[in-house]
Amino acid sequence: MGETRCEVIIYPGEEVATVVRDLIVKNHLDICLCLQPGGHKFSIPLPIGIEGLRLQISGCGRGTRLVLAESFRAILLAAVTLRNIDIVVMQGKRIEFDQCIEVTLDSCHISSADVPKTVATTGALCFIQGANRIVLYNNVIKARLDGKQNPGIAIVINDGRADTRLEDNDILGVISLYGLTDGSALNGDEMRDFT
């Protein structure tokens, strides 16, 4: 049985994760979502560990805003792509890619008004581990601490085995490539307060 590619248009106000869940129930493994301009929400978790699932979510640049009231956790997917979306990460939430074979962030504007000041990896705005291929291209990523303009932990790539391409990104915040030996994103000596 061949796989199907599902291209679905999502209009402002629709719950993105609900659409993904509904498509998975219908046995779609290659899902392409197109977010129309306007505000979109993500407030329930994605399904975890659907073997062979490839998920692409695309928008219309800054005109398409996705508010993450829940952490975006892509776990054990074959591929996941976020493209041309303005993503606002709410306090205490993050974008996480765990054990996904391929991870792509392309032309996204990712920001948080408040990233908790912490030395643990949970404080990272974007957290990637266990991927075989990582592409971060043409993104703007702004991690702020405690509602200030101070840089927080923007990106943690916690595994040095991935084929990684970082190109043409503007990043305000701390970047931890290939993780640290103690398993944390940053230790107290590396965390600086820029007040």
Could you read off the pLDDT of 19-75 as tens digits, one per residue? Answer: 999 999 998 999 999 999 999 988 888 877 788 899 999 999 999 999 998 889 999
Task: Give me the percent of the chain exceeding a pLDDT of 70.
Answer: 79
Other CB atoms within a 10 A radius of the CB of residue 69 amount to 13
Q: Residue 19, SS3?
A: helix
Domain ranges of the chain: 5-177
Query: Per-residue pLDDT for 186 more than 70?
Result: no
| DSSP one-letter string for 153-165 | EEEEE--TTSEEE
Cα separation, 29 vs 15, whole angstroms: 19
| Residue 147 · residue 156 · CB < 8 Å | no
Q: Is 147 left (phi over 0), alpha (psi -120 to 50) or beta?
A: left
Instruction: Summarize pLDDT for 144-178 with one digit per residue, the tens.
Output: 766 566 678 899 998 767 888 999 999 988 888 86
Q: What is the pTM for the complete model shown?
A: 0.83
Give long-range contacts, CB 8 A cutoff, 24+ apart: 191-194.
191/117, 191/119, 193/145, 193/150, 194/150, 194/151
Task: Give me the percent of the chain exceeding a pLDDT of 90.
Answer: 49
